[in-house]
Structure 1
Amino acid sequence: MSSGPADLNSVRIAVVSSDPAFRRMINDQLADLLEEKLKQPCDIQMFDDKAPSSFLMEPACALITFEDEEELKVLSRLASRHPNMLLLALSENGSVSRAVASMQAGAHDFIARPVSADVLSSRMSEMIAHHRPAPHGDILVSSHKSAPKGHAGTNASNGTETFDRAIDAEIMRDFEGFIGTSSAMQGVYDQIMRIAGSKAPVFITGESGTGKEVCAQALHARSSRNSGPFIAINCSAIPADLMESEVFGHMRGAFTGANDDRKGAAELADGGTLFLDEIGEMPLDLQAKLLRLIQTGTLRRVGGNEEISLNIRFVAATNRDPLEEVRAGRFREDLFYRMHVLPIHLPPLRDRTGDIVPLAKSFLQQYAREEGKGFHIFSTEAEYMLTAYRWPGNVRQLQNTIRRLTVMYDGAVVEPDHLPDLLRSDESFEHDLNQAISDLRQMGKAMSESIQPFWQQEKQIIEGALSYFDGNISRAAAALEISPSTIYRKRMSWAQKETA
């Protein structure tokens, strides 16, 4: 594994392989070819027979060779812990079943070995270039400036206002990597826009898979620091004895294996944003050192005496209740209040059910294109199943579900049979369904005491179901054993009767 200082503009590549010949080929040939194709320096980290449980600092791309089930498990673990990382799987067994197994485990592509450095570098450069994020902000500003030309011959004021609203709706629909127009996410977008320009620390909370790193990247992209580095480090993935060096850097000879001076994540983030994911996993003694860095803006590398001044925007995240962690003594109270200046909470997917289908369609379009499949829409029944499921793994689980079906099946329309059995046996949904039915029966008994017109009783029953399921029409319709379109039609009918 490389231990030299990393260039801020370099493309970070991780190589996990127990094959020494493959590792030599990477060192001797691939690095130069890849730098030539990407027009950027590459920082290659090599892992041999001791594969990491996760990477300390997420690479842009990882090459992983696997020949047995244990190595396939390593591939799957790294894919699940680094969902934003490109993963290229390689194996001497070039069978179709081997390729499918790697894709199910989370690989973006599969290549049979042996493979030449030229072929490998070409495929890697294509993958990295294809997955670079589009500059949303520049596109939107350019479109906005051209608006008046598109409204020649119309009322200038009304035309501009209409176009502004259309642009605003587009921004809210696809906001800095987020997808969704639910009220919960609109609130998140508003918070991000309000606080992105501040220098104060941000503390993001939310369940696993809700998009905490996407939120941190959005804050960086919307800030005046967006031309500086965004450095993300996962505190839960770093062994306690290495964390101080990874965050604060070290001097040559500070400990065994420290052969060079090395910048830590904090120094690499100078002039930009440092994102500390799962900050509650940081040992208490390092929390004290982090607190000093936040307060003074200076640090000392491990084994060093020099005070290094830094200009960093701190963003932290956790999937736990931070106040409970403070009460339990696992998180310093002074650090919590120093970081918890601008809090943002990301809602779980079950609380933004209106965003499930748009997210699923976006993932379907992306993965169908990558896999060369014909999928482009979901059947109505498949959409109902997606919306009714509670998604305990949130957006990440939905993303992996859509990716799995695009690998395993093909066609124009995603049908219920393409979805995993898990979506058909949601125990929590069954509990909610039974409770809703019980409540509806009680409502029926109460209504029997005073006879009302049928449409009013029907309205009370349907609105009671909608209220129980927090306005989720698909789940209310499932509980009532009617079609969601029936609820829409009934609502229109009630409105006409009430205004008559």
Structure 2
Amino acid sequence: MSKNSQKTLVYIVEDSVSSGALYSSQLESIGYETRHFVDGYSALAAIKEKMPSVIIQDVCLPDISGLDVLQFVKRQKSPARVIIITSNSSIEVAVDAMRLGGFDFIEKPFTRERMVTSVYDAIKQINLETEPPAVEDEVSDQPDTSFLGESLAMKTVFRLLDSAARSKASVFVTGESGTGKEVCAQYLHNTSARKNGPVIAINCAAIPKDLFESEFFGHMKGSFSGALADRKGAVEVANGGTLFLDEICEMDLNLQSKLLRFLQTGTFSRVGSSDVIQSDVRVVCATNRNPAAEVGEGRFREDLYYRLNVIPVQLPALRDRGPDILLLANAILLDKNEANDKGFQQFSSDVQTLFMKYDWPGNIRELQNVIENMVVINTGTEITIDMLPESFGQTNLQVTTTPSVIKSETKASTSVGPTSIQEIVPMWIVEKNTIEKAIEVCDGNIPLAAAHLGVSASTIYRKMKNWD
């Protein structure tokens, strides 16, 4: 690293003379050039004269806030990467600093390795943004077909992620099941300086409580029954990359405290070992719960929540994304065509209308499954209504209770029969009247009406097509 850092200038803004001198000596020993400032105004004057590559910035200064220095830096043409240093008492201020554009924050007391790693990551990010992308990276950086969008809600998400990619800040992704939280984490990884590192995902709800610490931090041979060999945990394997923690609110409180310590120090120990291991990871976590409510109920540590919720990203439900539904549907159709060697080119107009009106309780995951089912089972060039899977729309059963009007209509139609040959009505007309009344009661929601009638939406669409 010293070869690449010979001309790299780092400013240290720290009111403690002894601490600032220590940080300077530690960085200079590996080849960085440093300057130490004990107050904010001195740092501002130096920044005006020459912008460094990295600034290690204490939040609490004797004259102005470290946030003032950060905001001044971010307004400049080629801003430095700012690493915030803080004490436990000012952790919320540090989180605010990250949202204002800080690259990373580290809590006192911190190790030399923690500081050096943060500086090195900041410089990697600078190099990533200034160097032209390699040709071989062009394919790997293409977005996933399920992570596209032109709606205002998704533009906001992309803006947040692009900003987060320039820092090392933890990202907390929330959203309903199936909205693409893991794909969001992958997108963030691919656009950051860590894109050549690993992405390790852990589903906190799927791992037994007794094995969680081992899965997370690893274990030594013989440390517990079944530990037949030394094993690296997710934190160690993800070194240099991104650690994605799905369903974070399912994590046991005891492990939450250990995760917090790792985030603060960047160090951990395997189960059954006292050796301290360093690992540099970017943490992205996700949940379909309300994390603030979980904190209020005492199921999630407040200090861990602050540490993880530096950059909150709320993924919108598919039903709230308007035209994105068809944008995603067409992208998924192309993907499933290629995977299954099929030749579908488009959706029929009535399928498009249905897709836009449907609630999509399973979000993008449900959309993917529906399209894959149609592509695999059918052949042709156009996806039509009669290709919809039999189960489509039945997930809406829990949305509302069976409308009383449908019940009364059904009762009326079955309790009174014809009294003469002239009064006999063809069965298809009886069926047509019942279905149309159900659709009317359900405010035009055909999948919902189908669910209450006990048939699939595709059955209703086929019958409607025959009526026409």
1:212 match:
181
Give the superposition deviation at 1:427.
6.8
Matched, 1:351 2:320: yes
Matched, 1:315 2:263: no
Secondary structure of the residue aligned to 1:204 is strand
Taking the TM superposition and a 5 Å limit, the aligned residue runs for 1:213-228 are: 213-228=182-197
Counterpart code for 2:316: P
Q: In 2 relative to 1, CA 429–319 (structure 1 residues): closer, same or farther, beyond 3 Å?
A: closer
Question: C-alpha separation between the residues in 2 aligned to 1:182 and 1:333?
Answer: 33
Taking the TM superposition and a 5 Å limit, the aligned residue runs for 1:142-157 are: none
Partner deviation per Cα, 1:93-125 (whole Å, 9 max, x = no partner): xxxxxxxxxxxxxxxxxxxxxxxxxxxxxxxxx
Give the superposition deviation at 1:353.
2.2
Partner deviation per Cα, 1:473-494 (whole Å, 9 max, x = no partner): x99xxxxxxxxxxxxxxxxxxx
Question: C-alpha separation between the residues in 2 aligned to 1:382 and 1:420?
Answer: 12
1:5 match:
none
2:154 match:
185
Question: C-alpha separation between the residues in 2 aligned to 1:314 and 1:391?
Answer: 29
Partner deviation per Cα, 1:331-353 (whole Å, 9 max, x = no partner): 11111111111111100101102
Matched, 1:251 2:220: yes
1:366 match:
335
8 Å CA contact 1:220–1:230 kept in 2: the answer is yes
1:287 match:
256
Q: In 2 relative to 1, CA 307–242 (structure 1 residues): closer, same or farther, beyond 3 Å?
A: same
Question: C-alpha separation between the residues in 2 aligned to 1:179 and 1:422?
Answer: 26
Q: In 2 relative to 1, CA 329–305 (structure 1 residues): closer, same or farther, beyond 3 Å?
A: same
Question: C-alpha separation between the residues in 1 aligned to 2:332 and 2:144?
Answer: 15
Q: Which has the larger radius of gyration?
A: 2
Counterpart code for 2:320: D
Partner deviation per Cα, 1:227-257 (whole Å, 9 max, x = no partner): 1111111111100011100001001110111
Taking the TM superposition and a 5 Å limit, the aligned residue runs for 1:92-491 are: 178-421=147-390
Counterpart code for 1:414: I
Question: C-alpha separation between the residues in 1 aligned to 2:368 and 2:355?
Answer: 12
Counterpart code for 1:409: N
Q: Please say which of residues 177-186 and 194-203 is displaced more in the overlay.
A: 177-186
Q: In 2 relative to 1, CA 315–141 (structure 1 residues): closer, same or farther, beyond 3 Å?
A: closer
Taking the TM superposition and a 5 Å limit, the aligned residue runs for 1:13-92 are: none
Counterpart code for 1:405: M
Partner deviation per Cα, 1:418-446 (whole Å, 9 max, x = no partner): 11355567679999xxxxxxxxxxxxxxx
Partner deviation per Cα, 1:2-38 (whole Å, 9 max, x = no partner): xxxxxxxxxxxxxxxxxxxxxxxxxxxxxxxxxxxxx
Where do 4+ consecutive residues of structure 1 move more than 3 Å? Answer: 137-143, 173-177, 420-431
Counterpart code for 1:340: N
Question: C-alpha separation between the residues in 2 aligned to 1:422 and 1:139?
Answer: 44
Counterpart code for 2:373: R
- What TM-score do you get using the length of structure 2 for normalisation? 0.54
Secondary structure of the residue aligned to 1:315 is strand
- Runs of at least 5 residues in structure 1 that lack an aligned partner in the other structure: 1-136, 144-170, 432-473, 476-500
8 Å CA contact 2:144–2:183 kept in 1: the answer is no
Question: C-alpha separation between the residues in 1 aligned to 2:170 and 2:393?
Answer: 42
Counterpart code for 1:226: K
Q: In 2 relative to 1, CA 366–192 (structure 1 residues): closer, same or farther, beyond 3 Å?
A: same
Q: In 2 relative to 1, CA 175–373 (structure 1 residues): closer, same or farther, beyond 3 Å?
A: closer
Identity of aligned residues (%): 51
8 Å CA contact 2:175–2:288 kept in 1: the answer is yes
Q: In 2 relative to 1, CA 192–138 (structure 1 residues): closer, same or farther, beyond 3 Å?
A: farther
8 Å CA contact 2:220–2:230 kept in 1: the answer is yes
8 Å CA contact 2:204–2:250 kept in 1: the answer is yes
Give the superposition deviation at 1:142.
7.7
RMSD: 2.9
Question: C-alpha separation between the residues in 1 aligned to 2:197 and 2:137?
Answer: 21
Counterpart code for 2:261: R
- Runs of at least 5 residues in structure 2 that lack an aligned partner in the other structure: 1-132, 402-443, 446-468
What is the aligned residue count? 271
Question: C-alpha separation between the residues in 2 aligned to 1:421 and 1:177?
Answer: 24
Q: In 2 relative to 1, CA 257–430 (structure 1 residues): closer, same or farther, beyond 3 Å?
A: closer
Q: In 2 relative to 1, CA 394–297 (structure 1 residues): closer, same or farther, beyond 3 Å?
A: same
Give the superposition deviation at 1:417.
1.1
Q: In 2 relative to 1, CA 403–307 (structure 1 residues): closer, same or farther, beyond 3 Å?
A: same
